[in-house]
């Protein structure tokens, strides 16, 4: 279990990294 104020930004960060990998930036 994680507090909402921590889980939301974390999921957003993971989504951002995933998009960067799709674009071949990482």
| Structure tokens belonging to residue 21 | 């990998």
Q: What is the model's pLDDT at position 24?
A: 85
1-26: pLDDT as tens digits: 566 666 788 889 999 999 999 998 75
Q: For residue 10, what are the domain limits?
A: 1-26
17 within 8 A of 26, measured Cβ to Cβ:
yes
**Cα gap 25→5, rounded to integer Å:** 28
Overall domain count for the chain: 1
**Structure tokens given for 15:** 């989504």
The pTM assigned to this predicted structure is 0.50
Residue 2 phi, psi dihedral angles, 5° rounding: -135, 145
In whole angstroms, what is the distance from residue 13 CA to residue 26 CA?
A: 14
- Supply the pLDDT for residue 4: 64
| The predicted structure's pLDDT at residue 19 | 93
pLDDT at position 8: 80
């Amino acid at each position: 279990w994680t507090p909402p104020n921590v889980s939301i930004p974390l999921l957003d960060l993971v989504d951002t990294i995933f998009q960067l990998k799709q674009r071949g930036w990482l």
